[in-house]
């Protein structure tokens, strides 16, 4: 078994936003952990493979990971500024995806939905223009 994998998982849990493999690696080294980049990548992939963490691609095409509160299917509302992430459920969206797929004769329909915005803490305080 890999205690390294747990270490990676634990590091991810300390962050509330999505982190890249490189980020996780850098952070672990900062905390004094002895671990290689390769192992971080492998741990992250294994974790994602087991549904322990969620993965998505940022605008740069990098894979970013996050230890989510639930293994259930859900989506994310991510702040563009601070990376703060909220897990959201969207039954309507699930239904919509299924419906759209069915209308066009598609089966085994899956979907990716991510919502980005600026959270209240990061919103520019309007009033002074």
**Which parts of this chain interact with DNA (CB under 7 A)?**
1-5, 20-22, 34-39, 41-43, 45, 60-63
Q: Torsion over CA of 87, 90, 91 and 94, rounded to 10 degrees?
A: -110
Residue 71 in tokens: 């293994």
Bridge pairing between strands 85-88 and 63-66: unpaired
For residue 77, the minimal CB distance to DNA (Å) is 22
What would the x/- binding string for a second copy be over residues 28 to 67, using CB under 8 A? -----------------------------x---xxx----
For residue 32, the minimal CB distance to a second copy (Å) is 31
Contacting residues toward a second copy, per CB under 8 A: 57, 61-63, 77, 79-80, 86, 88, 90, 92-93, 96-97, 100-101, 104-120, 123
């Amino acid at each position: 078994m890999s205690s390294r994998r747990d270490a990676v998982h634990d590091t991810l849990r300390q962050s509330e936003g999505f982190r890249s493999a490189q980020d996780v690696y850098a952070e672990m080294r900062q905390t004094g952990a002895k671990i290689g980049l390769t192992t971080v990548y492998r741990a992250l992939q294994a974790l994602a493979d087991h549904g322990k963490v969620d993965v998505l691609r940022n605008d740069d095409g990098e894979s970013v990971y996050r230890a989510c509160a639930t293994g259930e299917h859900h989506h994310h509302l991510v702040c563009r500024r601070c990376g703060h992430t909220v897990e959201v459920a969207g039954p309507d969206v699930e239904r919509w995806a299924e419906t759209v797929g069915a209308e066009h004769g598609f089966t085994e329909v899956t979907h990716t939905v991510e919502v980005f915005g600026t959270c209240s803490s990061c919103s520019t305080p309007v009033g002074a223009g």
